[in-house]
Amino acid sequence: MTELSLRDKIEAALHTIYDPEIPVDIFELGLIYKIQMMENDGVHIYMTLTAPACPAAGEILNEVETKVKAIDGIGEVEVRLTFDPPWDREMMSDEARLELGWL
């Protein structure tokens, strides 16, 4: 069995984080725009929210940072929030849209 790469471990961690208002993980929702591996095993995660005024914004961002930092071999973690481009339902995976009945 091959060992998971750091990127695979990061993606797996992101699949465990849910938007409290939508019962789908943030990765399948399309909220993760980019995972950029940096020097010294650091990582920058560029992400968005379903709405700029999301009441759970701080909670979601903290959970992303905490869960990614907990991965063995990860250095500095920086979570960058962006609304460019703004999120819409088309960014969701087919599985997420199917699960929510949005297909």
Q: What is the CATH number of the domain that holds 71?
A: 3.30.300.130
In a domain, 46, yes or no: yes
Residue with tokens 């990582």: 43
pTM of the model: 0.91
d(CA 30, CA 35): 12
Structurally, the chain folds into a number of domains equal to 1
Q: What is the pLDDT of residue 1?
A: 47
- What number of other Cβ atoms are within 10 A of residue 25's Cβ? 17
Q: What is the CA radius of gyration of the chain?
A: 14
Domain with 43 in it: 6-83
**Per-residue pLDDT tens digits for 16-60:** 999 888 889 999 999 999 999 998 889 999 999 998 888 889 999
